[in-house]
Structure 1
Amino acid sequence: MMPVSITPSDGLSLSMIASLALFALVSSITPGPNNLMLASSGLNFGVRRTMPHIFGISLGVSAMLILVGLGLSTVFQTWPVLYTVLKYVGGAYLLYLAWCIGTAGPVGPGESRGKPFTFLQAAAFQWINPKAWIMSIGIIATYTPQNGFYVNLMVAAVVCTLVNLPSITLWAAFGSALSRVLRASAAVRAFNVSMALLLVASLYPLAQDLLVSLK
């Protein structure tokens, strides 16, 4: 039997995994729709009640990465109008979420006004989250070798989850920590409005695409 030689191109090398982890870290920990909503949720509901939201994001992004890698992207190549519709529906939904965050007041002990995202809501949200799409496509195109693609895709999803989960949890913890400082109702409202405005600002690339398409 001839010996089988394994080359770096047969799978993810340690250096490529390190690069993938760095990409996932930068993508996960920088401001975006998920993190802004987690900060607001941490402030208003605390980290414990925000945990389903956190796990929904992390596992939702990984599931999206796997499904896109398995060929869902070809559906959008065949019917690009579906991606366009999804993109603008997602933008409209983000505006709605920004409104909900911006108009939310502080939640006192015993109050039940408003609820954090559930696991399924957070996971489903990733399909209309532009940053999640960029992250998934970037990982598939750059950090997933074609030789042994399916195994590499699963490894990439695991690495993404291990990096993403603690990164986004920091945002919920940040919001929760601020709740001990921002005790005044006006301060909590100011924070929520700031998060809402940043969420709207994250839609700037989408607005640019819309303006270009209208010309």
Structure 2
Amino acid sequence: MADILVVPMMAFALAASISPGPVNLVCLSSGTRYSLPKGLVFATGATLGFISLFLAIGLGLYSFLSVFSGFKQLLSWAGILFLLYLSLRLFLDSGELGTDEAPEAPSFMTGAAMQWLNPKAWLASVSGISAYTNSENLIELVIFASLYMPICWLSLGCWVYAGATLRRYTRQPKVIVALNRTLSILIAASCVFIVMD
């Protein structure tokens, strides 16, 4: 692999990771609603979930799913249902900070599973791998994944940190409810675009 591809790979990883998507919005909400470490646990799960998806696609999963289009369609609908479930939880959140009724923060496993059900993650994986690697060269795939991992984690961490920064200014439950509902609607809207695609 030419060394020159490293910079474009990193630029692609940054653009794909930092741009808004369902996982980024959950990171923002986690930072707003919970402590920074709890939000970063979700971001870590999402990062490792994405990298495992990226590697699986690079090793042939996408080709396998192309043969079994029914399974691919089922996976897409499962992703939509999961995103709508998260959107509903966020929409119904009371906005009360530090109460016993506060729902659990999104977990490491939620982050990992969300990436496997996230169409943006699939698109980023397929397009990045096809643009920057030779499908027969495992070393290129591993290098790309190694570059992608810290960029993805730092990008998601930025969204968590942005939420934590917002939290300082949103101590009132009404403000948190409004923010959560806005994010919830954006996540649900992303499902509409998935269905239209």
Counterparts of 2:92 and 2:62, CA distance in 1: 36
Residue in 2 that maps onto 1:95:
84
Q: Which has the higher mean CA deviation after the structures are superposed, 138-147 or 64-73?
A: 138-147
**What is the percent sequence identity of the aligned residues?**
27
Residue in 2 that maps onto 1:31:
20
Letter in 2 for 1:175: G
Residue in 2 that maps onto 1:166:
154
Q: Aligned residue pairs: how many?
A: 197
Counterparts of 1:159 and 1:107, CA distance in 2: 39
Residue in 2 that maps onto 1:4:
none
The runs of at least 4 aligned residues of structure 1 exceeding 3 Å deviation read none
SS of the equivalent of 1:108 reads: coil
Letter in 2 for 1:82: F
SS of the equivalent of 1:105 reads: coil
Structure with greater Cα Rg: 1
Counterparts of 2:170 and 2:110, CA distance in 1: 28
Counterparts of 2:56 and 2:111, CA distance in 1: 17
Residue in 2 that maps onto 1:114:
103
CA RMSD of aligned residues (A): 1.4
Q: TM-score, normalised by structure 2?
A: 0.94
Counterparts of 2:193 and 2:98, CA distance in 1: 39
1:55 and 2:33 correspond: no
Could you tell me whether the CA contact under 8 Å between 2:16 and 2:124 is conserved in 1?
yes
What are structure 1's unaligned runs of at least 5 residues? Answer: 1-10, 210-215
Structure 1 residue 207, shift from structure 2 partner: 2.5
Q: TM-score, normalised by structure 1?
A: 0.87
Letter in 2 for 1:152: E
Could you tell me whether the CA contact under 8 Å between 2:96 and 2:173 is conserved in 1?
no
Choose which of 192, 195, 211 in structure 1 pairs with 2:180: 192
SS of the equivalent of 2:46 reads: helix
Residue in 1 that maps onto 2:34:
45
Letter in 2 for 1:150: L
Structure 1 residue 121, shift from structure 2 partner: 2.1
